[in-house]
Amino acid sequence: MVNAKPKVRIEHLIKIYGEKPRAALQLFREGKSRDAILQVTGHVLGIADVSFTVNQGEVFVVMGLSGSGKSTLIRCINRLIKPTSGHIYIDDEDIALINEERMREIRLTKVSMVFQHFGLFPHKTVVENVAYGLKIRGVEKKQRSQKALETLEVVGLTQWAGYLPASLSGGMQQRVGLARALATDAEILLMDEPFSALDPLIRREMQEELLRLQKKLHKTIIFISHDIQESVKLGSRIAVMKDGYIVQIATPEELITNPADNYIRAFIQDVNRAQVLKTGSIARQIITFTVEEDSPQTALEKMLYQNLKQIYVVRQGFPVGVVSRETLAAAIPEGREDITQLMQADFPQVNADTTLENIFHLYQQELPIAVVDESGKFKGVVEQSDVFASISSLT
Amino acid sequence: MASSLGGADKLLNPFKIYSLPVESWINHTIFFLVDRLRPFFQAIRFPFSLVLDGIEWVFLAIPPLILLPIIGLVVWQLAGRRIAIFSIVALIVLGFLGVWQETMMTLSFMGTAVLFCILIGIPIGIACASNYRIDRVVQPILDFMQTLPLFIYLVPIVMLFGIGKVPGVIATLIVAIPPLIRLTTLGIRQVSKEVVEAAIAFGSTKRQVLWEVQIPLAMRTILAGLNQTIMAALSMTVIASMIAVEGLGMMVLRGTASLNIGQASIGGLGIALLAIMLDRITQAIGQGNHQVSWQERGPIGFILSKVKNKKAASTYSGS
Ligand SMILES: Nc1ncnc2c1ncn2[C@@H]1O[C@H](COP(=O)(O)OP(=O)(O)O)[C@@H](O)[C@H]1O
Ligand SMILES: [Mg+2]
């Protein structure tokens, strides 16, 4: 992310369920475990000192098994649940301190929410559901219906506007839920396991849809999931929760290549690594033939020394061709030293953020693939053997 | 022998030596209340008698031939055509039995009692649903109200309020209000937690959550409670007549007392017909087809569709 501007910042958030959380909080600060606190005070430790920052335009996934505190965490952000201690900053405003009136304003304008079981109003039509936030904000009926219909169009449900939610399928109902959250133009979207209640096929469809929408809308999304596949697919970063703690916060790739503990290892077992790992992260830095500096002789020497079969030719940082050791070895005695004549200008090249599953077809020529960064500059190479090694490696 | 056992008898039955003077405590309390708080209870009377007189005036002042179609149309709109026809027929039968006036008196008495049940019961039910502490206080009181034999509180009510329609309404209130409170609480608690959360998450105030979400979704259950309340109120008509409430109940009471079985039967039939009628009406409202809006059903729907057809026809012929 170029503009990594913090949108939501959570500092030392603690939530303890129960009537008298003070004593429990004291025990927690003394370092007592969740179970010990439950036994002594009968209070449940929902969130145990959690801190993280979500940047503008990011999809931040919170993942964990059921009961790990995900729903509690996301509900603290719009204060459906009141935190016991700690700070939650939305655009530098501490949600934990403001009064109810201001909180309502924030819910009306800045933060909206999508629910696991959709949370639609069963007695209101689809269009009334979508317009609900605007109605509460006091927008005139005509205007809010107009806006609701526009939003329904975004999720492809215009023709269902007049129906009650019960007459729609699960996937369609959640599209309504999504539209309702989008209709208020809130910048922050809280999504509590929005696709968990859907069939696998529909779930995948909805994930694609969310990614498609996010490309256009650039919302700041906090997305709860208990599904690692979903998390790595959607998340720009993932926070893994366990018993109210955050175990690790990492990009999907970091999580898979460098899991913090066995809890996360157990999670990532099922992940198709080729779908997650990016060429950039396994690209090997390797010596190149720099047109401006190197002569064929020095290049050949380096190749012999490092036992390379071919070398990429780079001009001003950009890869322009590839040349094999045999070609160089044959050409030098004949005095043909113009590298642009010797090199092969047709070579496989991918961006650093391409996932491994999308590069297999490029290995037809037995050449290592050149990996370039966003500006097209050479970053390194990925050989077929590297790909296999990283996909199968047991961490 | 008996005398020799006298001492032992006393020992084995301590109740003979002493009993708590609760009876006189209660009497004193009641007398004290009646004495000191008369103005207060007179003030409570006021809104009840105002509403009672108003409703009764409407029912008795409008001649039957005008009132009947009005009732018919209202019932048609609320509960559908079949129940409307039943109601009209039932009222006509009662009219020809010569008890029109008694029926109207009972109806207005009931109407007042039920109206106050709604005004008091639904807010209490809502409060119980949203606050466990209130609920914990109210529940045992409701249990008490529903299990206590009627006559036990009939006497203090008469002492505090005198006899007549107002104490009748208040006695009826005590019997009839519990189901409405209970089912209002139940209905609101039954609304899905997630749906309520959604309403809050989109910025609703407590009041908006109540009116936009909780009450509409609890309406079916609340109306089931209202149905039970009306039935309970109707069952009170005979007892209320004991404290001089006029109407069909009075006919039953007088008829029974003077062995005039005919009079008692007609009164009883009237109460039964009213019961069936009100039961059907409230049930029909509760189970109402929510897919069809009020503008599309009943007499209003009938007229609107006629108007629309006419408009369509005129534009068609005009073009
Ligand atoms: N209202 C509540 N009162 C007491 N404990 C609760 C309450 N809500 C949740 N919990 C407990 O807090 C923990 C975290 O719950 P939750 O945030 O719903 O987890 P998740 O969404 O990850 O499944 C669980 O152990 C749950 O039992
Ligand atoms: Mg949850």
Q: Which domain holds residue B154?
A: 44-303
What pLDDT does residue A341 have? 82
- Measured over the CA atoms of residue A227, residue A233, residue A234 and residue A235, the dihedral's sign is positive
Contact at CB, B202 and A136, closer than 8 angstroms: yes
Q: Would B131 be classed as within a structural domain?
A: yes
Nearest residue CA, atom 7 of ligand 1?
A17
- Cβ neighbours of B79 (radius 10 Å): 23
Contact at CB, B205 and A119, closer than 8 angstroms: no
Mean pLDDT of B178-203: 96
Tell me the pLDDT tens digit for each residue of A48-107: 999 999 999 999 999 999 999 999 999 999 999 999 999 999 999 999 999 999 999 999
The residue of A135, A137, A178 whose CB has the most chain B CBs within 10 angstroms, and thus the best one to mutate to test that interface, is A135
Tell me the pLDDT tens digit for each residue of A246-281: 999 999 989 988 899 998 998 888 888 888 888 888
Task: Please state, in angstroms and as integers, the Cα–Cα distance from residue B63 to each residue in B100, B108, B265, following that order.
Answer: 10, 15, 25
Q: Is A130 on the interface with B (CB under 8 A)?
A: no
Q: Would B238 be classed as within a structural domain?
A: yes
Contacts of residue B47, defined as CB under 8 A and 6 or more positions apart, other chains included, come to: none
Task: Give the separation between CA A393 and CA A375, rounded to whole angstroms.
Answer: 30
Helix or strand run (H / E) with residue A355: none
Residue A380's SS3 state is strand
Instruction: Give yes or no for a contact between A280 and A353, defined as CB atoms under 8 angstroms apart.
Output: yes
Strands A369-372 and A378-382: antiparallel
Does the beta carbon of A68 sit less than 6 angstroms from any atom of ligand 1?
A: yes
DSSP A164-176: -GGGS-HHHHHHH
- Cβ neighbours of A282 (radius 10 Å): 19
Q: Would B48 be classed as within a structural domain?
A: yes
Q: How many domains does chain B have?
A: 1
Task: Give the separation between CA A125 and CA A131, rounded to whole angstroms.
Answer: 10
Q: Would B22 be classed as within a structural domain?
A: no
Task: Please state, in angstroms and as integers, the Cα–Cα distance from residue B52 to each residue in A365, B101, B106, B165, B175, following that order.
Answer: 97, 15, 11, 8, 18
Task: Give the separation between CA A335 and CA A327, rounded to whole angstroms.
Answer: 12
Q: Say what the pTM is.
A: 0.82
Contacts of residue B57, defined as CB under 8 A and 6 or more positions apart, other chains included, come to: none
What pLDDT does residue A161 have? 94
Residue A324's SS3 state is strand
Question: What percentage of chain A reaches a pLDDT higher than 90?
Answer: 63
Q: Count CA within 13 A, CB hemisphere, residue B173.
A: 18
Q: How far apart are the first and last CA of chain A?
A: 28
Strands A85-90 and A6-17: antiparallel
What pLDDT does residue A345 have? 85
What pLDDT does residue B23 have? 85
Tell me the pLDDT tens digit for each residue of A337-353: 788 888 888 888 899 88
Q: What is the CATH number of the domain that holds B270?
A: 1.10.3720.10
- Cβ neighbours of A49 (radius 10 Å): 16
Spacing, Cα A343 to ligand 2 middle (Å): 58
Task: Give the separation between CA A258 and CA A250, rounded to whole angstroms.
Answer: 9
Tell me the pLDDT tens digit for each residue of B46-90: 889 999 999 999 999 999 999 999 999 999 988 888 999 999 999
Task: Please state, in angstroms and as integers, the Cα–Cα distance from residue A99 to each residue in A73, A79, A96, A105, B208, following that order.
Answer: 20, 11, 9, 10, 18
Would you call A326 exposed, middle or buried from its count of C-beta atoms within 10 A (0-12, 13-18, 19+)?
Answer: exposed
What pLDDT does residue B222 have? 94
- Domains of chain A in start order, with CATH, are 280-392 (3.10.580.10)
| B165-190 helix and B132-147 helix, angle to the nearest 10 degrees | 130
Spacing, Cα A98 to ligand 1 middle (Å): 24
Q: Would B32 be classed as within a structural domain?
A: no
Nearest CA in chain B to A184: B202
Q: How many Cβ pairs closer than 8 A exist between chain A and B? A: 61
CB contacts under 8 A, A 86-105 vs B, are 104-105
Does the beta carbon of A89 sit less than 6 angstroms from any atom of ligand 1?
A: no
State the residue for tokens 């997305």: A223
Instruction: Give yes or no for a contact between A152 and A180, defined as CB atoms under 8 angstroms apart.
Output: no
Q: Would B317 be classed as within a structural domain?
A: no
Tell me the pLDDT tens digit for each residue of B76-126: 988 888 999 999 999 999 999 999 999 999 999 999 999 999 999 999 999
Q: Would B288 be classed as within a structural domain?
A: yes
What pLDDT does residue A1 have? 46
- Cβ neighbours of A250 (radius 10 Å): 19
On the question of pLDDT at A2 being above 60, the answer is: no
- The H helix count followed by the E strand count for chain A is 17, 16
